[in-house]
Amino acid sequence: MTTVSAPFDVAIVGGGMVGASLALALRDTGLSILVIEAFAPESSAQPSFDERTTALGNGSRRVFEALGLWQRLAPEASQIRRIHVSDAGRFGFARLDAADFDQAALGYVVPNRVIGRELWAALRQAERVQFRMPARVTRIELGEACARLQLVDGQGESAVTARLVVAADGAQSLVRQAAGIEASREDYGQTAIVASLRTDRADDGTAYERFTEAGPMALLPIVTPAAGHWRTLVWAAKPADAEALLALDDAAFLSRWQQAFGWRAGKALQLGHRVAYPLSLVRAGAGVARRAVLLGNASQALHPVAGQGFNLGLRDAAELAELLAGAAAAQRDVGAADLLATFAAHRDVDRDGMVRFTDGLVRVFSDARPGVARLRDLGLLLFDMLPPAKRALSRVSSGFGGRSPRLTRGLPL
Ligand SMILES: Cc1cc2nc3c(=O)[nH]c(=O)nc-3n(C[C@H](O)[C@H](O)[C@H](O)COP(=O)(O)OP(=O)(O)OC[C@H]3O[C@@H](n4cnc5c(N)ncnc54)[C@H](O)[C@@H]3O)c2cc1C
């Protein structure tokens, strides 16, 4: 086994959505960065840059603008100009319109593959960023002055050292386990089916969130190279129902969807490939350990109902990049315990708020008791009539309170 003697400043385990974004944010800080990723971004097995689309809030757009990536994503980003929330079979509904908040859009939907393609195209140009890919980290030891990572790739086993290890390796994080951080996992008893879907009605920039007896579903506008009016469907159903839906042929699936969703987006005509994701809330007991920090899904994996998991993970990355850039400028140890404690303190409010918001939304809207359903109708109607409540929600994607990192305000590090 070969060991690279000089330690990297930062080793990022996982070059998916959050890890690759962090590496890009750190590229001009003077720090030496190593990204270790198990799959090439263009591989069909890549679990982060897969068939999904991601709804990016305005805070995330500003981060990508500040990183010089937005102009490359924009041609394939579909604007969300309106959000329509409804409860199937009930009278309550609520609307949010970007124009009411003097915004061009409430958010943007971008295919994950496009985000991966552009992040990695930019990273491959970055001088201070090295990568091992495809390579899998198999063991980590977190020492007093340094961390040692063992990895395996096509050449066999090797080891590297780093002053700081970043866990961007997703909900099953190996780094989290190696750091001895416990994680709680609550199964939602739901599986999300994701597919693209074509209807006979043109997209007018509306994202639909519909809570149905069969589970919440979102229908998002997307830009596709294929002709016709395509959207992304994310339908969360009980696992047995999801299995039954996946077993249907395309025509039968579309007819079930039409029944559950209604006709607001027109008549369903065609379905793309369906992919299933079991849903649970995973939460790490701590965000940092000796020489290690957890980001994105390694720290918290959320239900996709409000489309906030990546937006939150990107704010983790923006905050860490800012602290590391400051440490680099002051020639301080980037893995120092006080720096990591500051990171944890700065991220606490936003993380807690977003976990509670998303989890509460899933629970309130999957409660079928009649009293709860009536309260929900009332809540949606009141929300629809109350501009301050709408303003508060339209700002959710910029963070749930606490400190706003510079990048999320569109400022360079
Ligand atoms: C159906 C669905 C829809 C969603 N929609 C939205 C949305 O609209 N908006 C939004 O903000 N969020 C959304 N999310 C959440 C979002 O997908 C996640 O928050 C995001 O993928 C987290 O990124 P990550 O980089 O932290 O983890 P991951 O995406 O899990 O990436 C982890 C990376 O680490 C690599 N890796 C793992 N272990 C190792 C190892 N040992 N060695 C080397 N590499 C390793 C993996 O190959 C992978 O590339 C959605 C989630 C789901 C399930």
| Domains of the chain listed by start with CATH number | 2-185+280-406 (3.50.50.60)
The model's pTM is 0.94
- Give the least confident one: 236-245, 301-310, 326-335: 301-310
Per-residue pLDDT at 346 exceeds 90: yes
The confidence band for 315, taking pLDDT boundaries of 50, 70 and 90, is very high
Distance 46 CA to ligand 1 centre (A): 10
The whole-number pLDDT of residue 322 equals 98
The confidence band for 87, taking pLDDT boundaries of 50, 70 and 90, is confident
Burial bucket for residue 130 (CB in 10 Å: 0-12, 13-18, 19+): middle
The confidence band for 159, taking pLDDT boundaries of 50, 70 and 90, is very high
Ligand 1 neighbours by CB, cut-off 6 Å: 13-19, 36-39, 47-48, 52, 54-55, 136-137, 168-170, 174, 192, 194, 234, 277, 296-297, 304, 307-311, 313
Choose between 402 and 148: higher pLDDT: 148
Q: Which of 119, 196, 167, 110 is nearest to 300 (CA)?
A: 167
Which whole number is the average pLDDT over 38-44?
95
Distance 135 CA to ligand 1 centre (A): 17
Q: How far apart are CA 262 and CA 299, in angstroms?
A: 37
The confidence band for 1, taking pLDDT boundaries of 50, 70 and 90, is low
The protein residue with its alpha carbon nearest to ligand 1, atom 49, reads 16
The protein residue with its alpha carbon nearest to ligand 1, atom 52, reads 304
Those residues whose C-beta lies under 8 Å from the C-beta of residue 267, and which sit 6 or more positions away, are: 199, 200, 201, 258
Distance of CA 345 to the CA centre of its chain: 21
How many CB atoms within 10 Å of residue 91? 11
Q: How far apart are CA 45 and CA 49, in angstroms?
A: 9
> What tokens appear for 57 in the block?
């809030």
15 near 37, Cβ under 8 Å?
Answer: yes
Q: How far apart are CA 198 and CA 200, in angstroms?
A: 7
The confidence band for 306, taking pLDDT boundaries of 50, 70 and 90, is confident
- Give the least confident one: 13-22, 343-352, 371-380: 371-380
> Closest ligand 1 atom to the C-alpha of 136?
42
Per-residue pLDDT at 374 exceeds 90: no
DSSP structure string for 248-308: S-HHHHHHHHHHHH-STT--EEEE---EEEEEEEEEES-SEETTEEE-GGGTEE--GGGS-
- If one residue of 12, 132, 169, 354 were mutated to test the ligand 1 pocket, choosing by the most ligand atoms within 8 A of its CB, it would be 169
- Give the least confident one: 83-97, 142-156, 198-212, 342-356: 83-97
Distance 45 CA to ligand 1 centre (A): 13
- Give the least confident one: 1-10, 282-291, 296-305, 331-340: 1-10
Which whole number is the average pLDDT over 292-303?
96
Those residues whose C-beta lies under 8 Å from the C-beta of residue 106, and which sit 6 or more positions away, are: 57, 58, 80, 81, 82, 83, 96, 98, 207, 394, 397
The protein residue with its alpha carbon nearest to ligand 1, atom 17, reads 310
Q: Which helix (H) or strand (E) holds 328?
A: helix 309-329
The confidence band for 373, taking pLDDT boundaries of 50, 70 and 90, is low
> Closest ligand 1 atom to the C-alpha of 55?
8
116 near 24, Cβ under 8 Å?
Answer: no
Q: Which helix (H) or strand (E) holds 312?
A: helix 309-329
The whole-number pLDDT of residue 393 equals 62
Q: Which of 291, 297, 307, 302 is nearest to 343 (CA)?
A: 291
Q: How far apart are CA 327 and CA 323, in angstroms?
A: 6
The whole-number pLDDT of residue 90 equals 60
> Closest ligand 1 atom to the C-alpha of 21?
25
Percent of the chain clearing pLDDT 90 (strictly above): 72
Which whole number is the average pLDDT over 83-97?
74
Query: What's phi and psi for 160, nearest 5 deg?
Result: -135, 165
Those residues whose C-beta lies under 8 Å from the C-beta of residue 121, and which sit 6 or more positions away, are: 72
The whole-number pLDDT of residue 97 equals 87
The whole-number pLDDT of residue 212 equals 76
The whole-number pLDDT of residue 216 equals 82
205 near 59, Cβ under 8 Å?
Answer: no
